[in-house]
Each structure stands twice: as C-alpha cells, then as structure tokens.
C-alpha cells in the first residue's frame, strides 16, 4: 500500500491509508490503533515517518492521543447543515442521539446596552441569563449562554430549560420562532470552557452566536455558544 517510488512523501501515503481505514470502518471510533513500531514494521518504513503521519492525523482530529494509553480513532464529528432553523434537541434527535442540558447558571440580570439593543428592550430591563452545557448521549458538545427578555417569556422556570427551550417556547407558550442570524468564528477553549466541555485548555472550538426572532419580528434570544471543534463541523449547500 506504500509506494516508495512515488513522488508523494511516505508519511503522506501512510496518512491517506490510515484515513481510508477509518472511513471504511476497518478502524473504528474509540479503537486503539497499532503502535508506531507496528506500523513501521508492517510498512518497512522508519518510526519517524510513522510519527509524522500520526501527528498530522491527531492535529486534524482523526486520531486522539491518550497519555500512557496509546492513540485512538476519534469519535466521528457531527456534521451540522447550516440550513433551517433548528434547536439543539432537534438536531441531536435527528441523528438518533439523546439531547440533554445541564444547567450551570440561571438568573435574571439587567440588560447591558448591547443586549438591550439586540433584544429590543430598554437598557437595564430584566433579562434571563441561562448557561447550559448541551449534551448528546451524555457527552458535552457545547456550552451555551442564552439571553431572553423576561417580559417576553415571563415565569420561565428551571425545569423549562433543563430540556428544550424551543419546545417550551413553541409548544407551551404558543409563540412562533421564525428566523435567525448566525455567526461562526474560530477560537480556542479558555480554562472554564475547557473544564465544562472536557477538553484541553487551548483546544480548538467554534464560537456561534445566534439571534433568533419571532414571526412578528420581535427578538427572542441572543445565544452565544462554544462548540467543541473536535465533535462538530458545519456544512453549507451553495447554489450558483
Ligand atoms: C441551538 C441554538 C440556540 C438555541 C438552542 C435551542 O443550540 N444555537 O440558539 O437556543 O438550539 O435548543 P433547545 O430547544 O434544545 O434548548
């Protein structure tokens, strides 16, 4: 499978081979891959070359190194289409996963000028600040901080936010969520975020801000989320 006469570097060929084995399911998520020595012996190449290939695959998120244990095939990333206004719970259920929310913080704060403007309330008005870890099959995927105007959703209770907020808004309050804007940005996990998401400080994350609106144009929520970049990728369909 490795062609030493090819103009393609050997580490690159090995990288492609390992990727293919992952894609074909010959190496499964969570499975430990052979050691550097084993790859080197199988392909009759140097361990340095193997290390280079594996380092690249770790950096690209295909493999994960666990100290003192070995190198494992990473869990497949969730591919989230950037189409349609869906909730976290809907997205996870659509993939056969059980959505969850661990509430870290839930209280009322006075709207600062920026949030007041975005939520179309007066400065200092009461707004909810809701911080939740979003889980899929119990695993942390994202850290979400939502701001919602108290006048729009009076009497929001802790039990309403420990599952789907959209479900509560639409099915219990009878409001219609119509559209949203969403901005994605690359960043790295800060200490607190890393702890909550069970990743290393400095690991790549995706910052997402969603501003969503009701059918009468009234702003419903401003949500700032930190998604694990090792678990999520976004897909957009384009037409020309
Ligand atoms: C996504 C969005 C959030 C939204 C949430 C609602 O995560 N980024 O802006 O608040 O879905 O999800 P759920 O209804 O599961 O609480």
130, 152, 223: residue to mutate for ligand 1 pocket, most atoms within 8 A of CB: 223
Residue 237 CB: number of other CB atoms within 10 A?
7
pLDDT in tens, 25-73: 999 999 999 999 999 999 999 999 999 999 999 988 899 999 899 999 9
**Does 75 score more than 90 pLDDT?**
no
Average pLDDT in the chain: 95
Q: In which band, very low, low, confident or very high, does the pLDDT at 77 lie, cut at 50, 70 and 90? A: confident
Are 166 and 177 within 8 A, CB to CB?
yes
Residue 103: predicted pLDDT: 97
Give the chain's domains with CATH numbers. 10-73 (1.10.10.10), 78-235 (3.40.1410.10)
Please state the atom number of ligand 1 nearest to the C-alpha of residue 134.
Answer: 7
Residue 220: predicted pLDDT: 97
How much distance in Å is there from the Cα of 166 to the middle of ligand 1? 7
How much distance in Å is there from the Cα of 110 to the middle of ligand 1? 22
Residue 89: predicted pLDDT: 97
> How many whole angstroms separate alpha carbon 174 and alpha carbon 25?
45
Please state the atom number of ligand 1 nearest to the C-alpha of residue 208.
Answer: 8
Are 50 and 36 within 8 A, CB to CB?
yes
Please state the atom number of ligand 1 nearest to the C-alpha of residue 87.
Answer: 11
How much distance in Å is there from the Cα of 51 to the middle of ligand 1? 40
Q: For this complex, say whether ipTM is above 0.95.
A: yes
């Amino acid at each position: 499978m490795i062609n030493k006469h090819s103009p393609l570097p050997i580490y690159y060929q090995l990288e492609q081979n390992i990727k293919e084995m992952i894609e074909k399911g010959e190496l499964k998520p969570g499975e430990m891959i052979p050691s550097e020595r084993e790859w080197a012996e199988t392909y009759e190449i140097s361990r340095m070359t193997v290390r280079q290939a594996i380092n690249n695959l770790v950096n690209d998120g295909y493999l994960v190194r666990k100290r003192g244990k070995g190198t494992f095939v990473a869990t497949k990333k969730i591919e989230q289409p950037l189409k349609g206004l869906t909730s976290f719970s809907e997205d996870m259920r659509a993939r056969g996963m059980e959505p969850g929310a661990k509430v870290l913080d839930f209280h009322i704060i006075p709207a600062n000028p920026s949030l007041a403007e975005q939520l179309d309330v007066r400065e200092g008005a009461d707004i909810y600040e809701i911080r939740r870890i979003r889980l899929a099959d119990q695993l942390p995927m994202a850290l979400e901080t939502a701001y919602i105007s108290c006048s729009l959703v009076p009497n929001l209770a802790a039990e309403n936010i420990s599952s789907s907020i959209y479900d509560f808004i639409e099915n219990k309050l009878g409001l219609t969520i119509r559209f949203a804007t969403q901005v994605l940005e690359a960043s790295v996990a800060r200490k607190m975020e890393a702890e909550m998401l069970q990743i290393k400080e400095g690991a790549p994350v995706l910052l997402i801000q969603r501003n969503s609106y009701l059918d009468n144009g009234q702003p419903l929520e401003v949500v700032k989320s930190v998604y694990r970049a090792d678990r999520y990728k976004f897909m957009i369909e384009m037409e020309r």
